Amino acid sequence: MSQDGNSLSRRRFLSAAGTATATAALAGCTGGNGDETTTEETSGGGETTTEDNSGGNGGSPSVLRYGRGSHSPTLDFQNDTSGEVAKVTEQMYDTLINFEPGKSTLTQGLATEYTLEGKTASITLREGVKFHNGEEFTAADFVATYRRFVDNSYENYAGDDYVSAYGPFTLGSWIDEIQVDGDYSMTIKLTQTYAPFLRNLAMFAAAVHSKAAIEEYGTELKKNPVGTGPFKLSNLDDANEIIRLEANTDYWGEGPNVDEVVFVTIGQNSTRAQSLASGELDIVDGLGAQSSVQVENASNADLVRTEGINIGYMAFNMASVEEFRDKRVRQAISHAINTEAIVNEIYSGFATQASQPLPPNVLGHNDDLDPYPYDTDKAQSLLEEAGYGDGFSFELATFQNPRGYNPSPIQTAETVASNLGEIGIDVEINQQSFSPFLEYTAQGRHDACFLGWYTDNADPDNFMYVLLHPQVEEGELTEGQDWVSFDAEGYNTSNRSGWANSEYMDLIEQGQSTYDEAERESLYNQANQIAHDEAPWVYLDYADELRGVSKRVSGFKIAAISGPYLNLVSLN
The contacts of residue 253 (CB under 8 Å, 6+ apart) are 94, 230, 567
CATH architecture of 39-69+230-307+545-572: 3-Layer(aba) Sandwich (3.40)
pLDDT surpasses 80 at 21: no
Q: Are 245 and 66 in contact (CB under 8 A)?
A: no
pLDDT tens, position by position, 144-190: 999 999 999 999 999 999 999 899 889 988 999 999 999 999 999 99
pLDDT tens, position by position, 391-405: 999 999 999 988 889
Q: Which band of pLDDT confidence, cut at 50, 70 and 90, is reported for residue 26?
A: very low
Tell me how far CA of residue 247 lies from CA of 61, 77, 459, in angstroms. Answer: 11, 20, 32
Of all residues in the chain, the percent with pLDDT exceeding 70 is 90
Matching CATH number, 310-543, of 1.10.3720.10, 3.30.1490.20, 3.10.105.10, 3.40.50.1580: 3.10.105.10
Q: Which band of pLDDT confidence, cut at 50, 70 and 90, is reported for residue 59?
A: low
The contacts of residue 238 (CB under 8 Å, 6+ apart) are 71
Of all residues in the chain, the percent with pLDDT exceeding 90 is 82
For the chain, the structural domain boundaries read 39-69+230-307+545-572, 76-221, 310-543
Q: What are phi and psi of 199, to 5 degrees?
A: -65, -35
Single out the residue of 277, 258, 256 nearest to residue 266, CA to CA.
277
Q: Are 517 and 569 in contact (CB under 8 A)?
A: no
What pLDDT does 124 receive?
A: 98
pLDDT tens, position by position, 257-271: 999 999 999 988 899
Q: How many residues can be counted in the chain?
A: 572
pLDDT surpasses 80 at 51: no
User: The whole model's pTM is what?
Assistant: 0.80
What pLDDT does 36 receive?
A: 29
pLDDT tens, position by position, 100-110: 998 999 999 99
Integer Cα distance of 529 and 8 in angstroms: 40
pLDDT tens, position by position, 498-527: 999 999 999 999 999 999 999 999 999 999
Lowest mean pLDDT among 1-5, 218-222, 310-314, 390-394: 1-5
Lowest mean pLDDT among 283-292, 361-370, 466-475: 283-292
pLDDT tens, position by position, 203-217: 999 999 999 999 999
What pLDDT does 3 receive?
A: 32
CATH architecture of 76-221: Alpha-Beta Complex (3.90)
Q: Which band of pLDDT confidence, cut at 50, 70 and 90, is reported for residue 299?
A: very high
Lowest mean pLDDT among 14-18, 123-127, 292-296, 538-542: 14-18
Kindly state the average pLDDT of the residues 233-249. 97
Kindly state the average pLDDT of the residues 352-364. 97
pLDDT surpasses 50 at 313: yes
What pLDDT does 158 receive?
A: 97
pLDDT surpasses 90 at 273: yes
Q: Across all residues in the chain, what is the average pLDDT?
A: 89
pLDDT surpasses 90 at 14: no
Q: What DSSP string describes 236-286?
A: EETTTTEEEEEE-TT-SSS---SSEEEEEE---HHHHHHHHHTTS-SEE--
What pLDDT does 229 receive?
A: 98
Kindly state the average pLDDT of the residues 468-483. 92
**Bridge-partner residues for 454, per DSSP?**
310
- Please indicate whether the domains covering 39-69+230-307+545-572 and 76-221 agree at the CATH topology level: no
pLDDT surpasses 60 at 47: no
N-to-C CA span, the chain = 53
